[in-house]
Amino acid sequence: MKKGLLLLAFMALPALAFAQKKIEVTFQTDGVCGMCEKRIETALLNIDGVWTADWDRESHATYVVYNPKKVSEIALHEAVAAVGHDTPKVKAKDEDYAKVHACCKYREDEVQNAHHGG
């Protein structure tokens, strides 16, 4: 019993970081679909110091909660741009944009219309 509880506590304790100060930010991020959502959120969640991330398909708003001691706000924008999505502060490089799937090419009108029309 004791051994088991110790092991559980060992795994759970590092996560009990309630005292950490966190910042909430929201910024626009270009994208069109569920695949984009997954790509944007995964890129952010993979950053150490990002607590939670959510991209809204309707409003294109990215909501991020992060620990400023571990990561800066500009690094969030850079991470999103690095997987091919434009933000107000960092525009994705053409070679990164080229990597997103054909149906996620949000810079093209045809794709935008298809998603809105669909």
Partner 1 sequence: MRRTNAFWGLCLPLSLFGQVDTSLYNSLQIDEVVVREEASGLSLDSKSATLDLTISRTELKKAACCNLSESFETNPSIDVSFTDAVTGTKQIQLFGLAGKYAQIQVEMTPLVRGLLANSGLSFIPGTWVQSIQLTKGIGAVNNGPESMTGQINVELLKPEDLVDAAESPDSEGRGDVILNGYVNQGGRYEFNEAYGVRINDKWMVASLGHISGRQQGTDINGDGFLDNPLGYQVNGMLRARYFGQNGWEGIYTFHALEDVKKGGQILSAFAPGTSVDDLWSSSMKQGRVAFTAKTGWVNPDLPDQSIGTILQLYSNEMDGSMGNAIDPLHASSLYGIQNGGMGQFLFRHGWGTWSQTSGVLLTADRYDFDFVQTDLGTTMGWTEVDLGLSTEWTYAPSDRFTAVLGARYDWNSIVSHQVSPRIHLRWEPVEKHTLRLAAGRGFRNALPLVEEWGRLATNRTLRSQPSRVAHIMGGHSLNMEEAYNTGLSYAWNFVMNYMPGSLQLDAHSTVFGQTVVQDYWTPGQRYLYTQFTSSGEPIRPMTSQTAGASFTYQLNKRTEMRLAYRYQDLRVVYRDETGIVSQNVSLPAPFVPKHRLMAHVSREFQGDWTVDVTLQRYGEQPIPGTDPSAYPSVETAPAFNLLYGQIRKAWAGGDVYLGIENGLNVMQANPIDGAVNSQTGEALLPSSAHFQTYFDATRIWGPIFGRMVYLGTNIVL
The yes or no reply on residue 21 touching partner 1 (CB under 8 A) is: no
- Footprint of partner 1 on 90-109 (CB under 8 A): 101-104
Spatial CA neighbour of 29 closest among 87, 73, 70, 71: 87
Return the number of other C-beta atoms located less than 10 Å from residue 66's C-beta: 23
CB of 22 to partner 1, least distance (A): 7
Under 8 Å between Cβ of 80 and 44: yes
Pull the structure tokens for residue 57. 């398909």
Nearest distance from C-beta of residue 1 to partner 1, angstroms: 5
Regarding 82 and contact with partner 1 (CB under 8 A), the answer is no
Q: Is 12 in the site for partner 1 (CB under 8 A)?
A: yes
**What tokens does 118 get?**
């669909």
Site for partner 1 in 33-72 (CB under 8 A): 33-38, 45, 50-52, 65
